[in-house]
Structure 1
Amino acid sequence: MAYIRDEDKKYLKGEFEKNLKEEVKLLVFTGDNCQYCGVASAIAAEIAELNSLIKFEEQRIDEDLARKYGLSHAPTVVITDGEKYQGRIRYVGLPSGYEFSSLVEDIMDVSKRSAEVSPEVLEKLMRIDKPVIIQVFVTPTCPYCPRAVRTAHRFAILNENITGEMVEAIEFPEWANKWNVMSVPHIVINEDIQFIGAYPDEQYIDYVLQAYEKMR
């Protein structure tokens, strides 16, 4: 069973041909009794078939690489070059619905080893020299969530101290309940600072800096 429609594959193939620069790895971490692991792996495999620069690998959530990346939930999809980005650009849960577009855009940015932000945002971003984790709780039907996810991931691409993590709230209700997630996107930074909404980069980075300053 194919999960990506033929017309979408044709479109993606063209976009990848134009935008991919260097190799990208799609690592899908799977586990036992995981409802969506098979689907996550199948989608990643279909994407990898569209361009030779995209490599798909399946890993176990209970093995060494997952522990190295600090992963504990399956499925988790990691977009990486295998070195610089490690496991810092990730999707916990199935990147479906509106989040599929985020996945595609992340693949292209990681391939370019860069992402776009304004000079003002980049200057603030580069102040961060300690580990910061940005978790973005989403649902597949939320049209505003991809923007919040992409911002977290763009920040992670540009600063090696930042991890950007999408969390699918419906798949992981206990995790969502921990942070009283009622509306999405719901962003949690360093398990401390929280805000709701798809804010522009200029406001988003100020929340990230607020969390960073509390570490100093």
Structure 2
Amino acid sequence: MVLDENIKSQLNQYLDLLEGEILLKVSAGSDKVSNDMLALVEELALMSSKISVQNTQLKRTPSFSVNRPGEDTGVTFAGIPLGHEFTSLVLALLQVSGRAPKADQEVIDQIKNIDGEYHFETYVSLSCQNCPDVVQALNMMSVLNPNITHTMIDGAAYKEEAERNNVMAVPAVYLNGEFFSGGRITTEEILNKMGQGVDASELSEKDPYDVLVVGGGPAGASAAIYAARKGIRTGVVAERFGGQVEDTLSIENFISVPKTEGPKLVASLEEHVKDYNIDLMKSQRASNLEKKDLFELELENGAVLKSKSVILSTGARWRNIGVPGEEEFKNAGVAYCPHCDGPLFEGKDVAVIGGGNSGIEAAIDLAGIVKHVTVLEFAPELKADEVLQERANSLPNVTIIKNAQTTEITGTDNVNGISYIDRETEKEHHVELQGVFVQIGLVPNTEWLGETVERNRFGEIVVDSHGATNVPGLFAAGDCTNNPYNQIIIAMGSGATASLGAFDYLIRN
């Protein structure tokens, strides 16, 4: 039995929603993964009279495809889609059966209108929280358009293939045999990369807004909802709705919710935003902002949006260590998400740069997967909470080095080591390893603003108690500002503050 009783109970509820017949075509051998995969598909068939199983020969063994009888949909799982990918399997079953996907009609129409042949393959790890979004987006596209196929490939089940293709970070998406994208990517971003996104002229033709929110994280979502509740014309431009919260595995300090996960919270945020008359423009990156009679926000695709007031909530991103080798070996041994990419370094030696909470948590998580973890902390003492330090120090395969100034990440095709200077002795040391996880804090996404608005030496937008900047009508909220604490609940509060401040500005002007 592959599925436990609790999962089977939940799955039964979903299988009751199947609208049409499903044929699972299975390509299996005699290995353990094949046996477990056969057990899974047979359990599914026993749970629903609408599911049948047929043995076949697919491109990869073990794998299985999800089809309608007499019609190949192009949705294939190479490996066993459990862990974080179990939801991907459930959604594939529902959508192939005829149940409509939950997507904006505009996006569905764009997918259906794509011409040409597109064969996608995505390497994942079952512990990766970012991978399911990509898998589900490409599966949906395959169901909606017969010209598109998609195969999810479990990197652990196909370790040699993943290594042969130099996959060292997931999700890794290939299109027609060529690398297409790495990391989380939304359906809208996929369409943009394929040249099938929203036309810039359509965006430029939109009427001016009363409030235009730039950024779709907790601060941006909060600001938009507060503005829309005032009955004023509100728009949101977001490169990636949800921001960093999408990459957060566990959230236990969001008051009134004892525990949740980032993607779940983001889904709730988007659902809440869509409850209001808010023009949500996803996968659009801002490139310039000018104040004329109205604010004019230029997007990377050339579109220009106009608004009476603007709220900047562009958030922050992982800070780079800024040493030779970091940029060269990104996705080739240099990584930023231990939850996503940790399994790819099973049995290998890795380093974690950073001794704060995120760094020590990463070291603890990685210690259960890799051979050895070396933590490099620049300061004389770790900044992580004492309980985390105690846990890390108790692990036999974790070494913590303080006063270590990282100088270079070395390698040829992939990372093969890291060099650092002992700041006490000034001696240089080199550690041979295969992976480096950078965990040294955040940097605000404000470079594109230039001299438009006052920023401090850290690049953070300077705001007052109302969320106002030094430019009348321009407000800011969340992690891109000089707020001293970066927390989800604080970002939401600052978004509400900035929105109320913008509303007061509009009343006065």
CA 1:50–1:128 in 2, change beyond 3 Å: closer, same or farther?
same
Q: Does 1:44 align with 2:31?
A: no
In structure 1, C-alpha distance between the alignment counterparts of 2:34 and 2:146, rounded to whole Å: 28
Q: Provide Cα deviations, 1:61-106, integer angstroms capped at 9, x if missing partner.
A: 3xxxxxxxxx32111111001333x161001122222112211111
1:165 to 142, 151, 155: 151
User: Matched residues in 1 for 2:69 and 2:182: separation?
Assistant: 32
Mapping for residues 126-205 of structure 1, pairs under 5 Å: 126-205=112-191
In the superposition, the TM-score normalised over structure 1's length comes to 0.83
Structure 1 residues 118 and 193 mapped into 2: Cα distance closer, same or farther (>3 Å)? farther
- Structure 1 unaligned segments of length 5 or more: list them: 62-70, 211-216
Q: Secondary structure at the match of 1:112?
A: coil
Paired-residue identity, %? 26
Instruction: Extract structure 1 runs of 4+ deviating beyond 4 A.
Output: none
CA deviation profile, 1:12-71 (whole Å, cap 9, x unmatched):
112211x1110111221113x533111101011111111111112333x3xxxxxxxxx3
Match of 1:80? Answer: 67
Aligned residues between the structures: 196
Structure 2 residue runs of 5 or longer lacking an equivalent are 197-509
Q: 2:83 is paired with a residue of what secondary structure?
A: coil
Q: Deviations over 1:176-205 (max 9, x none)?
A: 234321111111111224211222211122
Aligned mates of 2:193, 2:162 — CA distance in 1: 20
Q: 1:178 to 1:123 in 2, by over 3 A?
A: farther
Classify the secondary structure of the residue corresponding to 1:165: strand
- Is 2:66 the counterpart of 1:100? no
Contact 1:25 1:55 in 2 (8 A): yes
Please state if 1:111 is matched with 2:97: yes
Corresponding residue of 2:15 = 16
Q: Look up the SS of the partner of 2:151 in the other structure.
A: strand
Return the letter of the residue paired with 2:103: V
User: Normalization by structure 2: what TM-score?
Assistant: 0.37
Structure 2 counterpart of 1:83, one-letter code = G
Does structure 2 conserve the Cα–Cα contact (< 8 Å) formed by 1:41 and 1:58?
no
State the partner residue of 2:369: none
Quote the Cα distance in structure 2 between the aligned partners of 1:209 and 1:55.
Answer: 38
Mapped to 1, the partners of 2:125 and 2:77 lie a distance apart of: 12
Residues 179, 118 of structure 1: alpha-carbon distance in 2 compared, 3 angstrom cutoff: farther
Q: Which amino acid aligns with 1:23?
A: E
Cα distance change on mapping 1:97 and 1:13 into 2, 3 Å: same
From 52, 57, 62, the equivalent of 1:55 is: 52
Distance 1:116 1:91 in 2: 21
Describe the SS at the equivalent of 1:26.
strand
Tell me the SS of whatever aligns to 1:21. Answer: coil
Alignment-mate amino acid for residue 53 of structure 1? K
Asked whether the 8 Å contact 1:114–1:158 carries over to 2, the reply is no
Determine which structure has greater relative contact order: mean sequence separation of CA pairs < 8 Å that are 6+ residues apart, divided by chain length: 1
1:213 is matched with: none
Structure 1 CA distance for aligned equivalents of residues 150 and 194 of structure 2:
11
Whether the aligned pair in 2 keeps the contact of 1:128 and 1:209 (CA below 8 Å) is no
Match of 1:122 in 2: 108
C-alpha distance in structure 1 between counterparts of 2:78 and 2:70, whole Å: 20
Q: Is the 8 A contact 1:24 1:79 kept in 2?
A: yes
Q: Give distance in 2, aligned partners of 1:5 and 1:193.
A: 37
- Give the CA deviation at 1:164: 0.9
The amino acid of 2:124's aligned partner reads V
From the CA coordinates, give the structure whose radius of gyration is larger: 2
Q: Is the 8 A contact 2:73 2:143 kept in 1?
A: no
Distance 1:180 1:124 in 2: 32
Query: In structure 1, what is the equivalent of residue 495 of structure 2?
Result: none
Could you tell me which amino acid in structure 2 is paired with residue 109 of structure 1?
Q
Which residue is 1:7 aligned to? 6
TM-align CA RMSD: 1.9
Aligned-partner Cα distance in 2 for 1:135–1:208: 15
Quote the offset at 1:7 in angstroms: 2.0
Q: What letter matches 1:43 in structure 2?
A: L
Q: Is the 8 A contact 2:120 2:174 kept in 1?
A: yes
Counterparts in 2 of 1:100 and 1:151: CA distance versus 1, 3 Å? same
1:25 equivalenced with 2:11 (yes/no): no
The residue aligned with 2:458 is none
Q: Distance in 1 between matches of 2:5 and 2:159?
A: 33
